[in-house]
Amino acid sequence: MNRKVSVAPMMDCTDRHERFFLRLISKNVLLYTEMIVSEAINRGDKKKLLSFNINEKPLALQIGGSSPNLLAEAAKTGEEFGYDEINLNLGCPSKKVQKNKFGACLIKEPNLVADCLNEMQLSTKLPVTVKTRIGYDDVEDYESLFNFINLLKSTGVKTFIIHARKAMLGKFTPKQNLNIPPLKYEMVYKLKEDFKDLEIIINGGVTSTSQIKNHLKKVDGVMIGRSVYHSPYILADIEKEIFDNDEIVSRQTVIEKLIPYVKNEVKKGARLNQIMRHTIGLFHGQTGSNFWKRYLSENMCVRDADLKKIDHIMNKIKVDRVDNSAGQID
C-alpha cells in the first residue's frame, strides 16, 4: 500500500462524507476513518459505523481500545467490511479517551499494547499499523521511544505513524496537545535510521508540499491533518508535486461531482449541512473565498438547510467569479 502521503484520522472531521469529498481531489493519498472504539464496532450498528463508499478507497480503519479480544474482533469486522488497513490509536490524549483506557495513555503499558497487536494480527490478513506519539508527560527521551517501538516491532507490526509531539495526559485539552508540546522531528528521523526495516510515517505540523518533500528525504511517508481540513485543495498540489499526477481537477469540477453524491445521501437520510460543512475551506486563499464560506454558512451549513439550494450552487460560483484554478494553497 502506498503510504507516501496520508490524511490523518480526525474526530468530527474525517467521516465518510469528508472522505468522499477529499477523494474527488486526490486519488492517491491514503485516507483514514475517524477513530472508532472497538466495543462500539462489536456491539453497535456495524453498518452505520463502518459502511463507506467504494470510491473512498484506499481506506484505513482506525480503532481505539485496550482489550486484545475486542480489538481482534473489531479488526476482523473491519476486514469483512472491505477496509485496506487496520490502525490502532495510541496517540489520542483526551481525558475521555484516557478514562476508557485507550489512546496515548497506552504508551505507559507497552506489554498490553503488544498483546493487543498480537491478537489483532491473528484475526485479520490486513496490515495492522500503529499511530502513536514520541512520548507522554515527562517521558520524552529517545531511549524510551526506541524501546517502545522495538517491543511493538516484535509483534510483527511493520508500519508506525509517529506524531512528533508528546502527549500531555490530563494537563492539556486535545487542541492544546496539538499546539503546545514542541515538535521534535529529529526523534522520528532517528527512528527511521535505527529501524531501517520498518515503515516510519511522520505526523504533526505539516502544512505544505515543500515540508512533505523535506520529510520524505528522512522517512517513508507523511501524514497531514488539520491543514487538509482547513484547506482541502492542498491535496491537488500533493497530487501534482508528490505523485506526479498532472490530471488535476478544478475546484469547480469537485463541486460538480459532489452534487449528485449530496442529493443521493440526503435522500437516504443524511442532512445537507453534515456533508457541505466539509467544503467550507475548498476555496481557501482564492479570490471569492469569503463569499463561498458565507454562502455555505448561511444556506447549507445550518441544520435545516434546503436541498434545493444545491442546484444553484454552481451558478453562485460562476456569477461571483470564485477562482477555480489549481494552485498552491497559501
Q: Which of 5, 8, 1, 15 has its CA nearest to residue 275?
A: 15
Map 212-256 to HEC letters. HHHHCCCCCEEEECHHHHHCCCHHHHHHHHCCCCCCCCCHHHHHH
CA 96 – CA 67 distance, rounded (Å): 17
Cell 469529498 -> residue: 21
Where residue 231 falls (left for φ over 0; alpha for ψ -120 to 50; beta otherwise) is beta
CA 215 – CA 185 distance, rounded (Å): 9
Q: 92 an active-site residue? A: yes
Catalytic pick among 92, 105, 116, 301:
92
Quick one: CA torsion of 6, 142, 35, 73, rounded to 10 degrees?
110
Peptide bond into 181 cis (omega under 30): no
Which positions ≥6 away from 298 have C-beta within 8 Å?
A: none
Q: Which residues are catalytic?
A: 92
